[in-house]
Amino acid sequence: MSDVRIDDLPIRDELRGKSPYGAPQLDVPVRLNTNENPYPLPEPLVERIAERVREAARDLNRYPDRDAVRLRTELAKYLSDTGGFPLALENVWAANGSNEVIQQLLQTFGGPGRSAIGFEPSYSMHALIARGTGTGWISGPREEDFTIDPAAAARAIAEHKPDVVFLTTPNNPTGNAVPAGTVRALYDAAQAAKPSMVVVDEAYVEFSHGDSLLPLLEGRPHLVISRTMSKAFGAAGLRLGYLAADPAVVDAVQLVRLPYHLSAITQATALAALEHTDTLLGYVEQLKSERDRLVAELRAIGYDVVESDANFVQFGRFADAHGVWRKILDRGVLVRDNGVPGWLRVSAGTPEENDAFLDAVREVKKELEA
Ligand SMILES: *Cc1c(COP(=O)(O)O)cnc(C)c1O
């Protein structure tokens, strides 16, 4: 046993006293806290993954394809088929989750002496990865209703001249989408200020009522769109994220990526999953209608709900959000307290899980009003 604590180690000053990312992984009957797809992979896909992995296993004495050419080609095809904009291998880069994609972007375009801005509340990992890469972090403004006011955001960009601008659409944890017009305006503001890179995190775009922003890549070489297989594809355990951008951006991130960062097993598994895109995305429609049902029922119960384009819903308002989180957990349902004062977030689960959640919040509401 050791009495040495983290802060006794000669760690970097900016890491002192900080906590790691930590959505609780509690073992409760209904887990609706990390925006995963609630459906296990279909059996034919599980078989196909096993087949592909078996093939890959024979070559594990060798390093994997460093440039993941087959996988990036298939991802480009998926984006072209669904995004309304033609993309090819040289526009696409893949890594171990979009978190690694974002880390590589900050290693390339951020770093010591540089800064990044995000409009908060938003995805907390953007700020955490900025810190991990020595990039300064600027918390940009969001309105009371969680939308981004383009004028206020443009002023923040002009004032701070960040090297990287993050826009998350649909936004996590609030669920609302950023209109294309706002993205265009903030891209222009970022070019006038620096010019800086604009990273649009589209982790939830498959659940959106609107379209992907991929067509905005045309004529915007400093725009990057990041995607993931963790949410709509139902493959959070796979760890596969990717980006679409100008080919120069793809070349640039290769300056910082670790050689052979994407294992042969990961590449084989992701290729198998992409063969089953239709089945995997089949669940998306069902989750969208469950998401809409959660919005409607939470409103009927009497809660405030943010309009959602994602597979989760932000609801409130609570005098003591953490206390309510606890009471819902006591009823066997785990939701997310993101630390946004007054609000909680619930992921759309199976219809049965959502019913259990709705029963729990109805009970909690009664108890609070008693
Ligand atoms: C979940 C999520 C991701 C996904 O990260 P992965 O590393 O791909 O699992 C990225 N961005 C946002 C906004 C998310 O909520």
CA-nearest residue, atom 2 of ligand 1: 203
pLDDT at res. 2 = 79
Confidence of residue 14 (pLDDT cuts 50, 70, 90): confident
pLDDT at 21: 74
Counting ligand 1 atoms within 8 A of each CB, the residue from 98, 101, 124, 169 with the most, and so the one to mutate, is 98
Where does 141-214 show beta strands of DSSP type E?
A: 164-168, 197-201
Cα distance between residue 353 and residue 34, in whole Å:
14
> What pLDDT, in 10s, does the model give residues 316-347?
999 999 999 999 999 999 999 988 999 999 99
- The pLDDT of 293-320, averaged and rounded, is 96
Which two structure tokens, joined as six digits, stand for 171?
A: 């936004």
Angle at 216 between CA 77 and CA 285, to 5 degrees: 55
| Strand residue runs (E) in the chain | 30-31, 92-95, 115-119, 136-140, 164-168, 197-201, 223-228, 241-245, 304-305, 312-316, 333-334, 343-347
User: Residue 74 class from Cβ within 10 Å (0-12 exposed, 13-18 middle, 19+ buried)?
Assistant: buried
250 or 233: which carries more pLDDT confidence? 250
Return the pLDDT at 303.
96
Q: 282-313 burial, b if ≥16 CB within 10 A, otherwise e?
A: ebbeebbebbebbbebbeeeebebbbbbbbbb
The two three-digit tokens of residue 304, written as one number: 């405030």
25-41+278-369 and 43-275: same fold?
A: no
Ligand 1 centroid to Cα of residue 127, in Å, is 13
Q: What is the mean pLDDT of residues 142-166?
A: 97
Protein residues with CB under 6 Å of any ligand 1 atom: 35, 97-99, 123, 168, 172, 201, 203, 228, 230-231, 236, 241
**pLDDT tens-digit profile of 16-55?**
888 887 667 788 999 999 999 999 899 999 999 999 999 9
- For residues 195 and 225, give the distance between their C-alpha atoms in angstroms, rounded to a whole number: 17
pLDDT tens for 179-199 read: 999 999 999 999 999 999 999
Asked if the model's pLDDT at residue 117 lies above 70, the reply is yes
pLDDT at 272 over 70: yes
The token pair at 117 is 């801005």
Mean per-residue pLDDT of the chain: 95
CATH 2.60.120.10 correct for 43-275? no
Cα angle 116, 121, 126 (rounded to 5 degrees) comes to 35
DSSP symbol at 249: H
pLDDT score, position 361: 97
> Cα dist. 3→8, 9, 11, 16, 160 in Å?
9, 11, 16, 17, 42
Q: At residue 279, does pLDDT exceed 90?
A: no
- Protein residue whose Cα sits closest to atom 14 of ligand 1: 203
Under 8 Å between Cβ of 225 and 213: yes
Q: Going by CA atoms, what residue is nearest to atom 11 of ligand 1?
A: 203
Residues 286 and 3: their CA atoms lie apart, in Å, by 51
- Report pLDDT for 1: 64
Distance in angstroms (rounded) separating the CA atoms of residues 255 and 224: 17
CATH number of 25-41+278-369, picked from 3.90.1150.10, 3.30.70.20, 3.40.50.10490, 3.40.50.720: 3.90.1150.10
The string of pLDDT tens digits covering residues 64-82 is: 999 999 999 999 999 999 9
Where are the chain's structural domains? 25-41+278-369, 43-275
Beta strands in 101-222 (DSSP E): 115-119, 136-140, 164-168, 197-201
Query: Which atom of ligand 1 lies closest to the CA of 228?
Result: 8
- Distance linking the first and last C-alpha atoms of the chain: 49
**Percent of the chain whose pLDDT exceeds 70:** 99
Relative to the CA of 240, which ligand 1 atom is closest? 8
Annotate 222-241 with b (16+ C-beta within 10 A) or e (fewer): bbbbbbbbbbbbbbbebbbb
pLDDT above 80: residue 142: yes
94: CA distance to ligand 1 center in Å? 13
Cα 221 to ligand 1 centre (Å) = 23
- Which of 204-213, 277-286, 322-331, 361-370 bottoms out in mean pLDDT, i.e. has the lowest? 277-286
Nearest CA to ligand 1 atom 12: 203
Sheet holding 304-305, edge to edge: 304-305, 312-316, 343-347
